[in-house]
Chain A
Amino acid sequence: MIGSNKQIKQKGTTFLEIIVAVGIFSIAILLATSIFQSVSDGQRSAMVAQNIQEDVRYAMEIMSREIRMAQVFDKTKCFKEDQLTKNRIYNTENNAQNQNQNGLYFKNEEGDCVKYFIENNNLVKIKEGSTDLIPLISNKIISTKIIISNLRFYIIDSPANPNGANIQPRVTIALDVEYSGKKMHKQQIKIQTTVSSRYY
């Protein structure tokens, strides 16, 4: 009696049952993984945005602070190759490769020559001491993972004004930034600020 009962209970699952069970199970797993995937993607793009913002904030901060405190040029040359407009604080130089971009050079608070420009999609600052004792320093300002797609300086300075020197110089900085990575994580920032010279 018991033996025959046990036999009935030990009966295995049918092939159809297995297929249905596996099907339901795989759908559930698929749903779970796709949710996990989108969560991790979202997290990554949030992280990318965070990194770009940090770098952009830093770049704008150091540039505007140094530009604000720039002094008037009393010499005709700053960097060896660059001809400067005398009695002017700010000078721009067009980028040979891209007409939409330009670089800005000026004499900073310490009297060193400073130039900001784009090179290989990165923001670069070069600095040269007014005496030859300080060597030329070239620095990439921000992470190489971030692409600076455009950088422009718009200057209003004395010689640009036909009425003479009765104008306080100002510089408008426009910076376009994007992240170089997977397409889905592409983030863009177009940022602009203006700095009025504190040199009186």
Chain B
Amino acid sequence: MSNVRHQILNVKNGFSLIELIVCLFIINLGMIGVLSLVLQNIKVESTNKNALIASQLAQEGLELVRNQRDNNWLSGTVVWTNNIDNFPTYIIDYSYKSGAVTGVGEIDDEKTKLYINKDGYYTHESTSNSPTIFSRLISAIVSDKGDYLDIKSKVYWKERGRDYNYEAEVYLYDWK
């Protein structure tokens, strides 16, 4: 008789606390997995966005140096490398005028930083302009024979405490 009572009691038993905790733990694990995937996605999107801007800015650097070389050709009086190989590393921006190239040492130099001016363009001019996260440095190396210039345009930026960079390179020749 007591045996029957015992059996009936057993059948009606609910979950134990341990079972509940294990169950919740497994559910949470799944949730956290999905959530972290989405967070990762958002982070990557933001990095992608900055990489897109950086790629265009790096391209701009190369085009400006090429523009300088073409201007040297057109002037007819200066050598084709004029104002390009004066310094191993330097800055140049969209508003540059011939002969206004200044040497800058390293990428973390304050001068390499890009600002947005009142017309909405990225520039190296800092006064009364708002800073961006981007910095750009141009490096120019003359080849051993002196027949071409190895131009590199590096764009650096900091995001969530990590350093990123985008580098573009072109060889410029004295070929018309």
Contact = CB atoms under 8 A, between A and B. Distances in A.
A69 interface: no
Contacts of B74: 165-168
Interface string A152-164: 1010000000000
A39 B31 CA distance: 10
A2 B120 contact: no
Interface stretch (A41-49, A73-81, A105-113, A137-145): A41-49
Given A42-B39, A154-B94, A191 B53 contact: yes
A83 interface: no
A146 B62 CA distance: 29
Contacts of A22: none
Given A39-B34, A42-B42, A191 B52 contact: yes
Given A35-B35, A192-B57, A194-B64, A45 B52 contact: no
Given A5-B5, A170-B63, A192 B121 contact: yes
Contacts of A6: 8
A189 B46 CA distance: 10
B160 interface: no
Interface residues of A, number: 43
B60 A192 contact: yes
A172 B64 CA distance: 10
B141 interface: no
A57 B94 contact: no
Given A166-B74, A167-B74, A49 B120 contact: no
Interface in A31-55: 32, 35, 38-39, 42-43, 45-46, 49-50, 52-53
- Contact-residue size bin, chain B (C-beta under 8 Å from the other chain): 35 or more
A193 interface: yes
A175 to B, nearest CB: 9
A152 B8 contact: no
A53 B49 contact: yes
A193 B60 contact: yes
A191 B56 contact: yes
A98 B166 CA distance: 34
Given A35-B35, A166-B76, A196-B66, A150 B120 contact: yes
24 contacts: A6-B8, A9-B8, A38-B35, A39-B35, A39-B38, A46-B41, A52-B49, A53-B45, A53-B52, A57-B52, A100-B119, A154-B94, A154-B121, A166-B75, A167-B71, A168-B71, A168-B74, A174-B122, A191-B56, A192-B60, A193-B59, A194-B67, A196-B66, A196-B67
Interface of B: 1, 4-5, 8-9, 12, 31, 34-35, 38-39, 41-42, 45-46, 48-49, 52-53, 56-57, 59-60, 63-64, 66-67, 70-71, 73-76, 94-95, 116, 119-122, 176
